Amino acid sequence: MGLVDKGRLPKPLTTLFNMGRSYSLWVYQWGLACCAIEMGAAFGSPRYDVMRLGVIPLPASPRQADLVVISGTVTDKMAPSIKRLYEQMPEPKYVISMGSCANCGGPYWDSYSVTKGIDQIIPVDVYVPGCPPRPEALLEGVVLLQQRIKNEDMGARWRGEGTKAIVREPIVVGGGPVE
């Protein structure tokens, strides 16, 4: 859009776009281990339904996804696939790291075959701690991410200043309000 390229995005329009984006996130579920079951419960079960938040858990491929939830232990053998998956996603993209294995290696911190956290490979926006985190914790992570998206500067993002240029402190669920 012409407005965005020239950097002249007025505030009401940004707010509208951000609201639209945050309430229509398409989540690609990269479920690896036990956290995948809790993610399945959060996204697919009738009780902790995630669709009421506007998040659709059914994209056909990573190329159609806004958000990826990496849940479960990441091993060194699996890491290249995750990197490739992340690169396939179009901007703007967000990453939620679910569970302590994806956050920092978790109970397998001393293993010879486990990557100690996926933030070693891809940049993470939200950390959801737990082993496994309750489905409500994951939904809290999604809600906090939505708050951040609503406060985002869209112009900076679309000018091509990708994820590296924007200094974003990752959110940790349970760590207080987000601005």
Partner 1 sequence: MTDLADRQKLSYIAAQAADARLNVELETEGMTLNIGPQHPATHGTLRIIVRLDGEQVVWAEPSAGYMHRGYEKLTEVRTFPQVTALVNRIDWLGSFANEVPFILAAEQLMDIEAPPRAQWIRTILFELSRIANVSLFLGDLGVQLGAVTPVFMAFRDREYVLNLIESATGGRFHPNFDRIGGLKDDLPAGWIAETKQVMKKLRNFCDEIEELLFGNEIFQSRLRGIGVIPAEVAKQYGLSGANLRASGVDWDLRRDQKLPLAYDKVDWKVWTHPDGDSFARCWIRLQETREATHIVDQLLDGIPNGPIMAKVPRIIKVPEGEAWVSTENPLGEMGYYVVSKGDLGPFRVKIRSASFNNISIVPWVLRGVYVPDVISILASLYFILGDIDR
Partner 2 sequence: MSDDSTVAELPGDALREGVVQALRDALGDALLDSVIVPQRDVWVRVRTDAWRQAGIVLRDTVGCDYFCFLSAIDWMPSPFGRGEDDPTQPAPERDTEIRQGVTGGDTRMQVFARVTNIAKHFGVTIKADVADDDTVVDSWVPVYAGANWHERETHEMFGIGFAGHPDLRNMYLPTDFEGHPLRKDFPLLARLVKPWPGIADVEPLPGDDSEDES
Q: Which residues bind partner 1 (CB under 8 A)?
A: 30-34, 36-38, 40-41, 44-47, 72-73, 75, 77-78, 81, 85, 107-108, 110-114, 131-132, 134
Nearer to partner 1, 75 or 163 (CB): 75
Return the H-helix or E-strand segment holding 95. Answer: strand 94-98
Binding at 116: pick from partner 2, partner 1, none (beta carbon under 5-8 Å per type): partner 2
Question: DSSP string covering 137-156, please?
Answer: HHHHHHHHHHHHHHT--HHH
Q: Between 110 and 179, whose beta carbon lies closer to partner 2? A: 110
Q: Residue 44 CB, nearest distance to partner 1 (Å)?
A: 6
DSSP-H helix ranges across 8-153? 11-22, 34-44, 79-88, 100-104, 135-150
Handedness of CA 54, 91, 134, 45 (dihedral sign): positive
Q: Which is nearer to partner 2, 72 or 135 (CB)?
A: 72
Shortest reach from residue 113's CB to partner 2, in Å: 7
